[in-house]
Amino acid sequence: LDGSDGAQGGWLLGGSIALLIADIICMCSFMQIEPNEARVINWFGKYAGTFSEVGFYWINPFYGVKKVSLRARNLDAEPIKVNDKTGNPVMIGLVLVWKLKDTYKALFEVDTQTMAANPNTVGSDTKGLMNALENFVRVQSDAALRQVAGQYAYDDEDSKSGEPTLRSSAEEINQQLEEKLDERLALAGIEVVEARINYLAYAPEIAAVMLRRQQASAIITARE
């Protein structure tokens, strides 16, 4: 009887441990989704879908879950030096509002691992993933800004043709900048909410010369 009681006790202990482990796994499978958040679900490496509806859910514990943010984010890019259409060096900067639209592209079309400051955090930490995407946005914004700025002269005094310029045609420049950014960021599933030039000036090495030129032009115009 003692041996039977010992065996029965062993089975009860083993069953209790197994139930405890199963309970812990099940408890870890609950997830809470807040507004403008999402969870990307994959099944042993295969994309299974995205949860973005606000609520409290339980999912199969064998699913892999990656948390992403769908909230709008700002990028205030430092002014960069570019050559305008006439070859004059100018300093130009932009402010960009963007948000994640396509979670599949963000996680599987762009190599966020190599862009992250700490690659080990991507996938398990929302901040690591979003910082990697912000890195991507910053590089593409720089390229788009250089492309757009190089198509226009700083002002009409340089072009003498009545064409749109960086200083006088802000709305047209901003619209074209948004279009270029949309094209570049679509690869990562990112939507451009707004993009605007927030800084424009001649580069320091020619600023004094251009100021004297503008003053001389104003004097000539006043005399005429």
SS3 call for 120? helix
- Enter the pTM of the model: 0.76
First to last CA, the chain: 121
User: Which of 38-47, 120-129, 155-164, 187-196 shows the lowest mean pLDDT across its residues?
Assistant: 120-129
pLDDT of amino acid 198: 92
Percentage of the residues of the chain whose pLDDT score is greater than 70: 77
* pLDDT tens string 12-51: 777 777 777 766 666 667 888 899 999 999 888 889 989 8
Residue-averaged pLDDT of the chain:
82
Percentage of the residues of the chain whose pLDDT score is greater than 90: 38
Rounded Cα gap, residues 51 and 139, in angstroms: 29
CB 75 within 8 A of CB 138: yes
Instruction: Give me the residues paired with residue 83 across strands.
Output: 89
Q: How confident is the model at residue 1 (pLDDT cuts 50, 70, 90)?
A: very low
Radius of gyration of the chain (CA): 28
Strands 80-83 and 190-202: unpaired
Per-residue tokens: 166: 């960086």
